[in-house]
């Protein structure tokens, strides 16, 4: 990460993103979406994924991948070495039985920091655990031994019984490979988002066939959904039209088929199937697998993901630094900035923008750090089908910071930046057009815009550009 961005301040804001969904199912158990970003101030940031499968010897196993964000840990210095100590506990609980298993690991993590910056990269641990056939809940807990604080994530895994085989498809696992790595060096992706610095993706799933005489047909499809990728429009503009893509968010009804195929399994037993692709352009995707069991019922599994910017959710490259400046720049000036193709020239143009406005270099450095800290925080708190900083919630969070008060209703959320909850200048309302459910798994809160917000946004922009944002409460 560039010197622009130092240690990401992890604010206690997770509760602001929790919404009510009534009786609607919030997730489709047949669709894997990876972990959402999750963090609390002072707690380790943990992301996990798990998949149940049969080994080549038909031993039931669960593969658990855990990612811990390095910048979320507390470090101590010993002999000029900065060290964090982490304990990882993996609990396997049978959902309809009494089988359980616990695996515990401890790690000493050394980090070299540039100044005070702590990496937002992740420490990854992969564990393969022998179990019995069945359906399981997988609970992973990461304990920061320095702070004594822990975070937990829960997922599910199921493994068919090889003694009584039935037609089965496991969870679809998503893996990625970084450009320049060996052709077989894929790593599990635990999140819904996929950074575009990867050069290829791999999908893995295991299929069990129990019919010796009737070959099993596996259909696969790679879909791309029309999704909004635009940044939030200014606060004083008109509200989005109900027929527009920014209002709809993702059109789940009209996907484009990027790839499709049919594979036949002529032999009984379990087989691991892989599909490899070069990384796709930025957008919202689903890889799905389908077959039919012995009773004629459809078996379906899928993995949703979205390709984001190069280092997502972090802000590192000049282009990643330039994009969020749309909230502080005239639209035409920003368009000219984004037309600069040379990375070095783009970085120099960003430097000139900040220094020419703030004036003082030391103050400019502090303003820059604060601005991009908020961009990264917005990415981790408000990401849905597009980058968190591009959402309406992300724009307000970046410009004004975390709200003082939050009120939530079924489809409405209100943010207040004033003790006077009736003050229209610093109380903002967000409406959710579509309730989050198994068919639309995203929160897409849209700000209720008003022409009177022109002066409010202009004043806030000036606080940033002058550097006065460092001494105000917003």
8 A C-beta contact, residue 383 and residue 193: yes
Report the DSSP pairing between strands 405-408 and 187-188.
Answer: unpaired
Considering the chain, what percentage of its residues have pLDDT values greater than 70?
A: 91
Q: Is residue 134 in a domain?
A: yes
Q: Token pair 């002072």 is at which residue?
A: 42
Q: Distance between CA 291 and CA 237 in Å, rounded?
A: 48
Query: Distance of CA 348 to CAs 48, 109, 154, 170, Å?
Result: 38, 35, 45, 49
Q: Token pair 């196993």 is at which residue?
A: 61
Rounded to 5°, angle at Cα 277 from 438 and 274: 75
Q: Which two tokens stand for residue 304?
A: 């949703």
Mean pLDDT of 103-120: 73
CA dihedral sign, ordered 312, 316, 320, 321: positive
8 A C-beta contact, residue 188 and residue 49: yes
Overall number of domains in the chain: 2
Q: Distance between CA 321 and CA 368 in Å, rounded?
A: 10
E strand or H helix at 462, and its extent?
Answer: helix 453-466
> Which pLDDT score, from 0 to 100, does residue 265 have?
83
The pLDDT-based confidence of 116 (bands split at 50, 70, 90) is very low
Residue bearing the bigger pLDDT, 209 or 229: 229
> Which pLDDT score, from 0 to 100, does residue 275 have?
95
- φ, ψ (nearest 5 deg) of residue 130: -75, 130
Q: Distance between CA 142 and CA 47 in Å, rounded?
A: 10
Q: Is residue 278 in a domain?
A: no
Considering the chain, what percentage of its residues have pLDDT values greater than 90?
A: 65
> Which pLDDT score, from 0 to 100, does residue 113 have?
56
E strand or H helix at 159, and its extent?
Answer: strand 149-159
Among residues 126, 163, 151, the alpha carbon closest in space to that of 50 is found at 126
Q: Is residue 24 in a domain?
A: no
CATH of the domain at 93: 2.60.40.10
Q: Is residue 444 in a domain?
A: yes
> Which pLDDT score, from 0 to 100, does residue 37 have?
81
8 A C-beta contact, residue 445 and residue 29: no
Rounded to 5°, angle at Cα 37 from 31 and 42: 145
On the question of pLDDT at 456 being above 80, the answer is yes
Q: What is the pLDDT of residues 30-56, one digit of tens each?
A: 888 888 787 677 899 999 999 999 888
Of 118, 142, 160, the position where a domain reaches its end is 160
> Which pLDDT score, from 0 to 100, does residue 443 have?
87
Q: What contacts 24+ positions apart, CB below 8 Å, involve 246-252?
A: 246/446, 247/433, 247/446, 248/433, 248/434, 249/384, 249/385, 249/433, 249/434, 249/440, 249/442, 249/444, 250/225, 250/226, 250/284, 250/385, 250/440, 250/442, 251/225, 251/226, 251/227, 252/225, 252/439, 252/440
DSSP 165-182: ---EE-PPEEEEEETTS-
Among residues 235, 461, 474, the alpha carbon closest in space to that of 358 is found at 461
Residues in contact with 60: Cβ distance below 8 Å, sequence separation at least 6, in sequence order? 52, 53, 54, 130, 131, 132, 133, 134, 159, 161, 162
Report the DSSP pairing between strands 298-307 and 193-194.
Answer: parallel
Q: Distance between CA 395 and CA 399 in Å, rounded?
A: 6
Q: What is the pTM of this model?
A: 0.87
In the three-class reduction of DSSP (H, G, I as helix; E, B as strand; rest coil), residue 288 is classed as strand
Alpha helix ranges (H) inside 261-383? 318-322, 331-338, 343-358, 361-382
Mean pLDDT of 442-454: 93
**Nearest 10 degrees: Cα torsion 244, 246, 248, 253:** 90
Of 117, 135, 160, the position where a domain reaches its end is 160
Q: Is residue 273 in a domain?
A: no
Q: Is residue 276 in a domain?
A: no
8 A C-beta contact, residue 193 and residue 306: yes
The pLDDT-based confidence of 211 (bands split at 50, 70, 90) is low
> Which pLDDT score, from 0 to 100, does residue 27 have?
55
E strand or H helix at 466, and its extent?
Answer: helix 453-466
Q: What is the pLDDT of residues 328-362, one digit of tens each?
A: 999 999 999 999 999 999 999 999 999 999 999 99
Q: Is residue 230 in a domain?
A: no
Residue 444 belongs to domain spanning:
318-471
Q: What is the pLDDT of residues 185-205, one digit of tens each?
A: 899 999 999 999 999 999 999
Of 114, 143, 160, the position where a domain reaches its end is 160
Q: Is residue 109 in a domain?
A: yes
Query: Distance of CA 443 to CAs 245, 339, 384, 402, 464, Å?
Result: 14, 32, 7, 18, 28
E strand or H helix at 456, and its extent?
Answer: helix 453-466
Q: What is the pLDDT of residues 404-420, one digit of tens each?
A: 999 998 899 999 998 88
């Amino acid at each position: 990460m560039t010197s622009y961005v130092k240690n990401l301040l992890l604010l206690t804001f997770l509760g602001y993103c929790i919404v009510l969904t009534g009786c609607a199912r919030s997730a489709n158990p047949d669709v894997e979406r990876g972990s959402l970003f999750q963090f609390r101030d002072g707690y380790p940031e943990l992301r996990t994924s798990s998949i149940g499968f049969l080994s080549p010897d038909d031993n039931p196993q669960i593969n658990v991948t855990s990612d811990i964000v390095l910048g979320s840990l507390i470090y101590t210095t010993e002999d000029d070495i900065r060290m964090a100590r982490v304990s990882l506990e993996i609990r396997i609980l049978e959902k309809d039985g009494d089988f359980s298993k616990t695996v515990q690991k401890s790690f000493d993590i050394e980090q070299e920091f540039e100044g005070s910056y702590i990496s937002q990269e992740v420490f990854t641990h992969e564990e393969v655990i022998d179990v019995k056939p069945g359906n399981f809940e997988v609970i992973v807990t990461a304990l920061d031994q320095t702070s004594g604080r822990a975070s937990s994530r829960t997922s599910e895994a199921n493994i068919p019984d090889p003694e009584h085989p039935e037609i089965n498809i496991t969870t679809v696992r998503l893996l990625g490979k970084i450009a320049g790595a060996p052709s077989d060096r894929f790593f599990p992706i635990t999140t819904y988002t996929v950074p575009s610095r990867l050069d290829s993706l791999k999908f893995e799933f295991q299929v069990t066939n129990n019919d010796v005489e009737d070959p099993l047909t596996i259909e696969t499809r790679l879909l791309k959904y029309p999704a909004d990728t635009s940044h939030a429009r200014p606060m004083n503009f008109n509200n989005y039209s109900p027929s527009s893509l920014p209002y709809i968010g993702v059109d789940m009804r009209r996907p484009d088929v990027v790839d499709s195929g049919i594979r036949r399994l002529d032999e009984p037993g379990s087989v691991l199937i892989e599909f490899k692709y070069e990384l796709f352009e930025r957008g919202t995707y689903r890889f799905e697998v389908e077959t039919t069991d012995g009773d004629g019922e459809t078996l379906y599994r899928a993995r949703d993901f979205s390709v984001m910017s190069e280092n997502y959710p972090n802000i590192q490259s000049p282009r990643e630094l330039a994009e969020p400046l749309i909230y502080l720049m005239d639209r035409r000036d920003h368009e000219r900035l984004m037309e600069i193709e040379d990375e070095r020239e783009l970085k120099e143009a960003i430097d000139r923008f900040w220094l020419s406005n703030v004036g003082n270099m030391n103050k400019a450095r502090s303003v820059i750090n604060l601005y991009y800290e908020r961009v990264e925080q917005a990415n981790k708190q408000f990401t849905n089908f597009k980058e968190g900083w591009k959402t309406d919630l992300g724009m307000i969070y970046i410009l004004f910071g975390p709200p003082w008060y939050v009120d939530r209703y079924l489809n409405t959320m209100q943010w207040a930046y004033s003790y006077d909850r009736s003050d229209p200048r610093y109380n903002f309302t967000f409406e959710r057009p579509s309730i989050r459910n198994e068919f639309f798994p995203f929160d897409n809160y849209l700000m209720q815009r008003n022409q009177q917000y022109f002066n409010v946004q202009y004043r806030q922009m000036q606080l940033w550009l002058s550097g006065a944002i460092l001494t105000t409460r917003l």
